[in-house]
Chains A and B, each alone.
Chain A
Amino acid sequence: MGSRVEILNEGGFRSDGRRQYELRDMTIDLSQQGLADGSVIVAHGLTQVLVSVFGPREAKIRSHTIHDRANINVEVNVAAFSTGERRKRTRGDKRILEMAATIKSTFESVVQTNLYPRSQIDIFVQVLQQDGGLLQACINGTTLALVSAGIPLLDFVCAITGGVHSTSPMLDLSLLEENDIPNVTVAVMPRTGKVTLVTMETRLHVDRFEEIFRLAGDAGKVIHGEMKRAVKSRTSALVTAMGSGPRVGGGDLADKDGDDRMNDY
């Protein structure tokens, strides 16, 4: 690299024109994908993942059943075309397995697994594009997919990456920044502010950590707002389409009620 890209220029802008604390575009598509119980395509800027959730359902492998709660099974698959250089990763790749394990341990404390003894919840993450913040996209996607599958969660889990360039902290790193500066991924539950995941693959100065950690917590709340709005518009669209709302049973009475509601819209 002859001329290095400036991570943060003098005007306070980053390489992609964002400011220090500015997040990338977040797009959420909650429409039905195939036969999955819940599915979502989440994009943070150019990082895009598709998450499908199946279950709770009978575990296909008997030894995977746990007698008093559901087993969460996470599989991550990285598409060969997702990176700049085309590269086929096998399913046994250590980094991918580690990411799956991270997602699993993040959600084990959030999903109310005790409601579904002897069942299994399958989470399939398909990485479509990578541009930094892969783990955050996977976690946010998994949260949304679980919500759309109707699986009980204690709260949303909102993940965000933070880094520090010399002394200035920044949020939601792109691949270019992620390769260059120390970074940390934080997942928070916004209602209580509890943190379900903190992970670092690089060394970060201990004096900077607190600041980034606090910023990431705040950014998690912003992400939560976005996720909530997406879920809200999807849920209300489905309720509207059903006419009378999810009222099963009740025969004529429910139907009459349903018709009234249809008129309201």
Chain B
Amino acid sequence: MISFTSYPLQLDDESFYGSRQHHPDAAEDIDMDLDDEQELFEAGGSKNLTYPGEPLTSSHAYMRGHGTYVNDEEVIASVAGTIERVNKLVTVRAIRTRYNPEVGDLVVGRITEVQPRRWKVDANSRQDAVLMLSSVNLPGGVQRRKLESDELQMRNFFEEGDLLVAEVQAFFSDGAMSLHTRSLKYGKLRNGQLVTIPPILVRRLKSHFITLPCGVDLILGLNGYIWVSKHVKESDQEGEEGFDAEAVYSNQNDRIDELTRVAISRVTNIIRVLASHFVPLTDTLLLEAYEWAVDQEDGAKDLLQDDVGDLLVAMITTRRQ
């Protein structure tokens, strides 16, 4: 007689779930327990979670929103997440998904392709975004007509792999977004590094350009791309006449001193730790976390160790209460 034993990975994480299977008849009892539990959850009202294929309500009484579909006069969830209801509209917001763009959003993206009169930009969305040549600032005056020569030297402005910060301008009929960089705040990024986090963790803030007192500038892209860079003085940023093409489209990094480099990597690591614990980012939170990290007198890389990260998150969650 051969016997089998399995050795499942043991994680104390809640994301891990394991249990023994039963004869279908016996398993029915367990299912019943589950149902009771769920009803309790919903009676509590604090967590309105749902899963694909769960009937939510009748389609006569309610309208279906995102994350739902209608079948047999029932509104049924199609993603796992929280149920939201606005009057008669029922939507389910998925807990983890790609970035859903809205007009006016600030995004950080990376050029993937140069095409005739346009760039393709990866912005963590379901399709690459489009940056038209007509929606960037060109050298020699902010407003002027595009010339053929501009078309021929598009790679002098943005090349494949370049990072940029832009605003969502409009949508195409297939849902792809069009970006623009027609502001001095927007344009090519340099002097720093990129961190990627789930887009849901970036809250809409008054300003997505944050300057931390440690000499670090942050750009919180709503698409979950975050740019952490050396602080640039505002007077330097503007230059003569408000626009200096050389500086804006430059590929050369400025000199960054040792201290700033450490600060940049510390901020980056804090963001990584918070994201791995699924904590939404805000400027005040980052500041608190940075002060705490400096107090610890550890190197910037120690933050990535599990125990230090856990301490950091514990500190933040207790402060928030």
Q: Residues of A at under 8 Å CB distance from B?
A: 5, 9, 15-17, 19, 21-32, 35, 37-38, 41, 43, 45-46, 55-58, 67, 112, 116-119, 131, 147-156, 172, 174, 176, 189-192, 218-219, 221-222, 225-226, 228-239, 241-246, 248-251, 254-255, 258-259, 261-264
Contact = CB atoms under 8 A, between A and B. Distances in A.
A46 B3 CA distance: 12
B126 A25 contact: no
Complex A-B, nearest 4 residue pairs according to Cβ-Cβ distance, in ascending order:
A150-B97, A150-B94, A155-B53, A23-B21
A249 B280 CA distance: 12
A150 B98 contact: yes
Given A9-B1, A23-B21, 5 more contacts: A16-B2, A19-B23, A46-B4, A58-B120, A117-B175
Contacts of A249: 203-204
Interface string B31-63: 100100000000000110101111100000000
B122 A254 contact: no
Interface range on chain B (Cβ under 8 Å from partner)? 35 or more
Contacts of B22: 22-23, 222
B95 A29 contact: no
Contacts of A119: 126-127
Contact of B82 (A30, A189, A218, A239): A239
B174 interface: yes
Contacts of A156: 51-53
Contacts of A5: 2
A25 B53 CA distance: 24
Contact of A238 (B27, B95, B205): B95
B79 A239 contact: no
A150 B80 contact: yes
Contact of A56 (B11, B15, B98): B98
Nearest to B31: A225
Contact of A45 (B6, B49, B78, B98): B6
Contacts of A236: 14, 47, 49
Contacts of A222: 21-22, 24, 27, 31
Contacts of A234: 14-15, 17
A219 B81 contact: no
Nearest to B68: A152
A27 B2 contact: no
B279 A235 contact: no
Contacts of A152: 52, 67, 69, 78-79
B3 A16 contact: yes
A230 B1 CA distance: 33
Contacts, number: 226
A173 to B, nearest CB: 12
A43 B9 CA distance: 10
Interface of B is mostly: loop
A229 B34 contact: yes
A233 B97 CA distance: 18
A258 B201 CA distance: 13
Contacts of B282: 255
A137 to B, nearest CB: 13
B278 A254 contact: no
B126 A56 contact: yes
B101 to A, nearest CB: 12
B167 interface: no
Contacts of B51: 147, 156, 228, 231-232, 235
Contact of B34 (A9, A30, A225): A225
Interface in B305-319: 317
A25 B98 contact: no
B69 A174 contact: no
B126 A235 contact: no
Interface in B201-216: 201-206
B60 to A, nearest CB: 19
7 contacts: A17-B1, A29-B9, A31-B16, A56-B98, A153-B79, A219-B24, A242-B200
Contact of A248 (B3, B31, B204): B204
A152 B52 CA distance: 7
A234 B14 CA distance: 6
B191 interface: no
B80 A229 contact: no
A155 B50 CA distance: 12
A67 B173 CA distance: 11
